[in-house]
Each structure stands twice: as C-alpha cells, then as structure tokens.
Amino acid sequence: MAILIRWISAIMSVILGLPTLLGAVLQSAVKVGYEDRPVAAIEEYFLEGNKEFIDEAEADYWSVGYARRVLTPDDVDKTRYFLGGFLKFPAQEATGVIDDLCVRAVVLDDNSGRGAAAFAWIDTVGLMNADIKDIREKLSDITGDGKLISIDVGSTHAHSAVDTQGLWGNIPKTGRNEKYMEALVQKTADAIREAYNNRSEGTLYYSAESYPDMFWDGRAPRVIDDKIHLFRFVPNDSGKKEIYIANFGAHPIHLEWSNSKLSADFPYYIEKEVTSEKNADFIFILGAIGGAIHTDMGPQNGIPEDLPAFEKMKEYSNIVADILYKLAEKGEVVEPILNVRHAHVDFEVNNFIFLLVASSDLCNVNPFKENGKVYMSSEIGYVEIGKNIKIVEAPGEVIPEVVYGGFMSAEESFTGTEYPYEGIATHFGEDDEVLVFGLCNDAVGYIVPDNDFSSSGKEGHYEETVSTGSKSASALSKAFFELLKEWSK
C-alpha cells in the first residue's frame, strides 16, 4: 500500500506540475524570462576574507574552537522528507533513521588580530550559496574585522541524508522541506557561534600520507588526491578535548539503492571511532570528488568481500580512524598563520537539465541573463594555513585534474582540444601541500574540464548531466588564478 501511495503521489505531482514544467522547458529552451545580474544579492553576506596576508606568525599559539549540532529530524514518521543523492521515480521518501545527520563546525584563529575563520561541514548532499548566505546573516553580529572574517560552509555529500537542494523530490515539485531548512540554517549558525566562543589556545599539527588503495577513480584520466589529510589541535588546557580535522575526497554513497533510511554514511562512523578511542572532537571536510571518486572497499584493505555494502562502509571507517591515529602521532607543528580570501565566480549555465532545474524553482538559485547567456553566480576561496598548506575551496564536485593537473591531451579528449589552463596546484611550490575543500559555499554539480565535456550521454561522461555546463572548469580556473594574482600584488 505504501508503495502504491508513493506512485500515486509522484504521478499527481507530475500532472499538477505540468504547467510549471512546460513553462520551465520553454524558458530554458529560448532563454527568456531571466532577470539581469542581481548585484545586491550577489554581494549580500559575501565575506571577502583578509584584506592583507601575513608571511610570519604574530603569536605563539593558535586559538581553535569546535561545536556540533544534530540535524536529524525527529518527525520522520509524520513528515515527508526526501533522500538526496539518488534520482528515483517515485522519489525516495525517508522511512526511518540509521544514524544521526550533523553539522560540525571548527573556528581557527591565528591570534594576529585580523580575525578568525569558520569552517562548517554538514551531512547532506549539497547546499546552495543562498542557503549559506542565510547562515551568515544569522552571524552578522560577529563578522567583520577582528571577528569572523570568513564563514565557509560545505557538505559531506552524503547520499542518504535529507534533500537540501530540492533536486530529489517528485519533479517538478521540489524535494526541499523548508521547515527543515530553517532548522538547519539556525543550528549551523548556532554551532559556528559556539565554536567561535569556545576558542582556546593550543598547538596545531598537520600530517598527510598517500593511501592509493583506499580510493577509486571512475573517470579517465584518473587523477586523484589519494592522501588522507589530518589537522590535529592540542589545546594548552588539558581539560579541553583535542580536535581532529580530517580531509579526503570520496563519495559517501554506501547504502544500497533501495535504502530509505537517513544516514550520514562514513563521516558518522569515523567520528564515532575517533570520539570513542581518543575522546576527541571530529570534523570531516570533503575533498575533490569529481570523476565519481569513491572509497575502495576491496579485499586489499582487509575488508571481507561477502559483507553487505553498509557493513563494508563501517569497516572502511574503522580503517580510516586507525590511519588518523597514525597521522596524529607524526604530525608536524603548524605555525599560527591563517590567510583567507574569497572571490565571486560566474558559471555559464548551458546544460539544459540544469537550466530546467533552475527555471522550475527546484533549487534555491537565482540564474540571470547577460549578453544573451544564462549564468549563476557562486564563490571560490583560497586558504593558507601555516607556511606550506594551501587550500582550494571549490563550490562543487571538482574533477581533480582541475586542481592537480594531468588533463587529457587534445588527442585524448572528447572535444579534440587542449584545456586552456594549467592545474591550479602548479602555481604553488614543490614543498607546498595542496588540499581541496569541496562543495564549499555552494553545490553547482560536477566541474568537468572543458576539453572533455560531452553532453552526448557517451559512456564515461555521466558527470556532465549534473553540471552547470561545458565551461564550468575554465570559469573556476580563470577565477582562481585571478584571485591568486590579486592577493599576491
């Protein structure tokens, strides 16, 4: 009976939404009905970051704070929530809860007096830039010079969390639950505020190591950051907990396709192990996952092949936790130097599916028309921690070669052309560690190199269907190189 009701509900949503859908198709096809660039909306609650960068530490210690909030809805049995990540018809409604969805926030301050930076990552498939600005609005009293000069909010990209984008409902009806979104925005702001107020002095350590057997890249040319990165904060006050900040790139998609229960996937289970074993606070920050980069749960990692996917994921989480403990023991001290800068980036929306999504008001986005083309405005960011740690903040699922290089040649690529830029990491020195904070401050889909972009449905080109279009990567590269050029003047 429940399945029948879901089918009837889905069919009715399509029938009742036909006028909206047809209007969106027309708008997308002829590119009419779009407003001019919304300058005020783009600039509102945008935080540029540090006005000036420093090269030498001005204090002996870091100040770091942490907080966490549970986002799991307590009325799953009474309210419709859609799972975000897998496109199904009828859309998958949540029928229960396996583990908690959370937001985890950490605030870093180098005690230079220039201000602190907040990083909050949420167990969800993705958040749009307008939602992040709603979070910043609630923190406007503690932003500005000497306070929070940066608030970066990202997603763990868990495919069994609540749909916060709107893409996973019974289209053309959005899958977003606005009451849930209001609670998520408030709780995230509360967590960031608490982390800001909880700052205490201590030492920050960093370590990273390659684990190629732990990851799998599903798209040629198979460039990947196979490192697991760890920042470990040890407070001077022995009464306070250590903080583990883990970063690597892999999709949290380990529940079966048929799953209908909410889960945060491996970030939850890594946290569970770390908090239990080390009594430390934990935050997972997603890396570069473009190219459908997954965890590799093969037998080479000691995971039995006959385990169900969910049990394999928990075993994998235990392995990652053990790796973090090893990295914690050999971390090197990071000087208290924190530099942050953000910039706007315009993505041309020439993917018909993305145009249709925007025109149907499924997502919290505001596309605009300029010079006969449709764009959406987003953000990029650049962070320096210490002297040799460089962080690229990308507003989507960036294909790793955009950052690390290794693009397909003209002969290998779909378009038969060269990619017009080098990898972003080539800007930095050989001794620099280059990390990616993915799905940061927006969720614009896959960012695919222009020269290998194909909307033909050809095998090996799935990512293009969930992308703003054929110029997303070059827009990101251009904006990032301009940002680096600007601050280095």
**Residue ranges making up the domain that contains 121:** 62-334
Amino acid 423: pLDDT: 97
Q: Are residues 124 and 172 in the same domain?
A: yes
Q: Based on the fold, state whether residues 168 and 229 are members of the same structural domain.
A: yes
Is the preceding peptide bond at 73 cis, omega within 30 degrees of 0?
no
Same domain, yes or no, for 244 and 342?
A: no
Among 301, 334, 367, give the residue marking a domain's end: 334
DSSP conformation class of 33: S
- 292 has pLDDT over 90: no
Do 222 and 194 have their domain in common? Answer: yes
Q: From 315, 334, 353, give the residue that closes a domain.
A: 334
pLDDT in tens, 329-371: 999 999 999 999 999 999 999 888 788 777 777 788 888 999 9
Q: Extract the runs of DSSP E, i.e. beta strands, from 211-322.
A: 215-216, 227-235, 243-248, 261-262, 281-286, 294-295
Number of folded domains in the chain?
2
Q: Is residue 233 part of a domain?
A: yes
Residues 322 and 359 in one domain: no
> Residues 18-23: what's their mean pLDDT?
62
The answer, yes or no, to whether residue 125 has pLDDT greater than 60, is yes
User: Do 30 and 113 share a structural domain?
Assistant: no
φ/ψ of residue 385, rounded to 5:
-120, 115
Distance CA 355, CA 33 (A): 12
CA 154 to chain centroid, in Å, comes to: 4
Residue 484 has pLDDT above 70, yes or no: yes
pLDDT above 80 for 19:
no
Residue 414: inside a domain: no
Residue 83 belongs to some domain of the structure: yes
pLDDT confidence band for 269 (50 / 70 / 90) = very high
232 & 380 share domain: no
For 29-98, strand residue ranges (E) read: 62-70, 83-84, 96-97
Look at residue 55 and tell me if it is in a domain.
no
Domain boundary pick from 285, 305, 334: 334
Per DSSP, the residues of 143-204 read BSTTSEEEEEEEE---TTEE-SSSTTSSTTS----HHHHHHHHHHHHHHHHHHHHT-EEEEE
Give a yes or no: residue 51 inside a domain: no
Confidence of residue 6 (pLDDT cuts 50, 70, 90): low
291 lies in the same domain as 392: no
pLDDT recorded at residue 50:
95
Note whether 238 and 360 are same-domain residues.
Answer: no
Q: Are residues 258 and 376 in the same domain?
A: no
Q: Is the pLDDT of residue 123 over 60?
A: yes
The answer as to whether 412 is a domain residue is no
406 domain residue, yes or no: no
**Helix, strand, or coil (residue 452):** helix
What is the model's pLDDT at position 174?
87
296 in any annotated domain: yes
Do 111 and 24 share a structural domain? no
Cα of 325 vs its chain's centroid, Å: 24
Give me the amino acid identity at 185.
V
Same domain, 242 and 386: no
